[in-house]
Every structure is written in structure tokens, then in C-alpha cells.
Amino acid sequence: MKAVVLKQHGSPEVLEFIENFPEPELSSNEVLVNVKFTSLNRVDLHIRKGYPGLNLRFPHILGGDIAGTVVKVGSNVINLKEGDKVVSYPVVIPEKTNPKFTGTEQLNDNWKFFGMHLNGSYAQFVSVPANNLEKLDSETKFEHACTLPVAGLTAYHSVVKVGNIQEGDIFFFWGGASGMGSFVIQLAKLAGAKVVTTVGNNAKREKVIEIGADYVFNHNTDDVVSEVNKLFPFGVDVILDYVGSATFDRSLAMLRKNGKLIVCGMMSSPEVNLNLQKFYIRHLNLLGIYLGSPDEFKKLVNLLNQKKITPLIDKIFDLKDASVAHKYMESGQHIGKILISID
């Protein structure tokens, strides 16, 4: 099968396109998916460069976003058949789970992430446990579905479950033109929130306004904290921050009393300083999250099938050009998701 493989860590050039990589084996509870589209995520870049504490077995295939067609089912699979259009939950949950994590199954130990612990979606075929797969409506596009597993699910978990955004809440998100940005904005608007976000240039500003942002600032030229505090003197209810040290202090400064700061990344740096007095005296809530549960993923797929959300797609690259796609993501020019077409 065609695949892009990683044989060592390094720059985008280490991604190697191969036309005869062995097809994955299929167990009795698995389904063989012919991947049609996948999308890039920041974690792909981190794994390619070398993720702290992760030891890959080379050659390795990146990619956590699997959307395609069922071509073969294992002997114990009864709910799927050849030809079904599907999208996959990105994590394989262990068979034995802790009851404490019912509803947040991704918190169980020993989960395995496609593209990280398992070979992923930069390939024609992937073997996926049948219970990971959600069916797509006939008219739902693979291009849209492939953006859901990582970016879409993280946004849903942040906004709907952890953030628990309510009608009239003020929601802030750094980088509204990012791959996750379109989901965050649309989901917060569906919940009835006022959405404040930032971008790096005017072209991106117009795009995020189109998808529903109420207030947009330039994080390169505007004093974001001052501008937000002018609009909302009592502060913001919920902030989602995936940037890290570069924005952490400013995020805390914009929160209202009892506000929530949800952290889902560390693009700039994982190390921050926290003034405990300012933190506890305002009754602030600091919450770390990643991904979401299988049930949340099912609800997210339903929103896509019902056309209540529409992913923002920037560019589509051929599989053989995966290294070019990585360079493009690293350039920061994109508005929305970057896709790879497999077939």
C-alpha cells in the first residue's frame, strides 16, 4: 500500500513516501479502512521531531485522523459492512477500564493513539477496532469528517463538556484561524456564547468573522488584554489556551472571578509561572484537557452529519507531498485545517 513513513526523527524531509508498504493485519474485532483523507495536527509535527518520553518503533506512520471506507471486516464484527463510510475515534481504549473514568474514557491508562503508539492515517489502509468507528451519512464529505478526530474532538470536549459554555457566556480563544479554531468558534456560538478570539493578520480576521466570531483582535499588534478588559470589565467566563507560556499570564488576567482557564497545548513552552495569590483570591479554575470521550465523538459526528458544523479547510496536499504539508503548517500561513488526500 501507499504510505508516508518515518524512519527517524527530524525535519519534514524525513517523511518518506513508499508505494509498497505492507498492509496492516486484521484481527477478529477490527475493520480495515481504506483512508480517503486525513488532516494534519500539531502533534504530528511534535512526533516527527521527537516527542518527550515517546519511543517509536520505526518505520512509523503518522496521523490520528482516519476517514474512509470499510473494505474488510473481522469475523466478530456485526455492526459494519464493506462500503460503509466511517470516521474513527483517534484513541484505542484498553479493554479493562477504570469505573472512575466512565464518560471520560480517554483518561484510562494504556490507551493507544493512532499516529503515536499505533501506525496512523498517512497510509491507504488502517486496521481500526470496530467500536472506534462512527458511520457517516452518504452526503457527508470525507474531507470534512477527517478533521473531527483530534481538532474537532478537542474543541468539543473543551467547549461543551469541560467549559460547559452556557447562553450569554463570554468565551475567549487564542488563534481563531487555527485548525481547531473553526470548531471552537462554531461550537461556542451553538451554545449561545459571545466569542472573542485573536489572529495574526487581517486576512485571517475576515475569515474568523465569517464563521461567527464576535470580536477579533490581532495578537501581534493589539494589546489583547486591555482591549478585552475594555469590552468586558468583569472578565471572561472561559478561556481555551493551547499556546502555553507566551499567553498563560494574559489568559489569567482576562478571567472573571470563578472563571475557567482550559489548557490543551504548549506550542510556545510548557513552563509557566503562577502567582498563587492572584489565582486563589479570584477563585480561578485551571483545567488541563486532551481529546474527549467516545460518546462526545459520537455527538460531534452527529453534528457534522446534521450539517450543524462545517470545518474550515485551507489546503489539500497529495500523500506524496506530506513533507510539503508539514512545512506549510510550520509556516503558520494556514487558515483552518490542512488535509492530505490519500487516493
CATH of domain 3-147+311-341: 3.90.180.10
CA 166/CA 3 separation, integer angstroms: 43
Please count the residues of the chain: 343
Reference 154, options 15, 279, 39; nearest CA is: 39
Q: Residues 6 or more apart from 156 whose CB is under 8 A from it?
A: 183, 187, 292, 296, 297, 299, 300
Residue 190: count of CB within 10 angstroms of its CB? 15
Write down the pLDDT at residue 144: 98
SS3 content of the chain, % helix, strand, coil (to 5): 30, 25, 40
Write down the pLDDT at residue 268: 65
Q: What is the longest distance spanned by two Cα atoms in the chain? A: 62
Write down the pLDDT at residue 247: 85
Kindly state the cell numbers that stand for 307: 450539517
Residues 241 and 180 sit within 8 Å (Cβ to Cβ): no
Reference 184, options 107, 238, 134, 229; nearest CA is: 238
Sign of CA dihedral 9, 14, 15, 20: negative
The pLDDT tens digits along the chain (343 residues) read: 999 999 999 999 999 999 999 999 999 999 999 999 999 999 999 999 998 888 999 999 999 999 999 999 999 999 999 999 999 999 999 989 999 999 999 999 999 999 999 999 999 999 999 999 999 999 999 999 999 999 999 999 999 999 999 999 999 999 999 989 999 999 999 999 999 999 998 889 999 999 999 999 999 999 999 999 999 999 999 999 988 788 889 999 999 999 999 998 776 677 778 888 878 899 999 999 999 999 999 999 999 999 999 999 999 999 999 999 999 999 988 999 999 999 7
Write down the pLDDT at residue 13: 97
Residues 166 and 191 sit within 8 Å (Cβ to Cβ): yes
CA angle 51, 105, 133 (to 5 degrees): 85
CA angle 217, 303, 159 (to 5 degrees): 45
Residue 208: phi and psi, rounded to 5, are -75, -25
* Beta bridge mates, 45: none
Kindly state the cell numbers that stand for 105: 474514557
b/e map 96-109, b = 16+ CB within 10 Å: eeeeeeeebbbbee
- Which run of H or of E encompasses 228? helix 224-231
Task: Enumerate the domain spans of the chain.
Answer: 3-147+311-341, 155-288
Residue with cell 458511520: 135
User: Any idea which architecture 155-288 has in CATH?
Assistant: 3-Layer(aba) Sandwich (3.40)
What would the DSSP string read from start to end of 189-230? HHTT-EEEEEESSHHHHHHHHHTT-SEEEETTTS-HHHHHHH
Reference 73, options 31, 34, 132, 33; nearest CA is: 31
Q: How far, in whole angstroms, is CA 145 from its chain's centroid?
A: 12
Distance from first CA to last CA of the chain, Å, rounded?
11
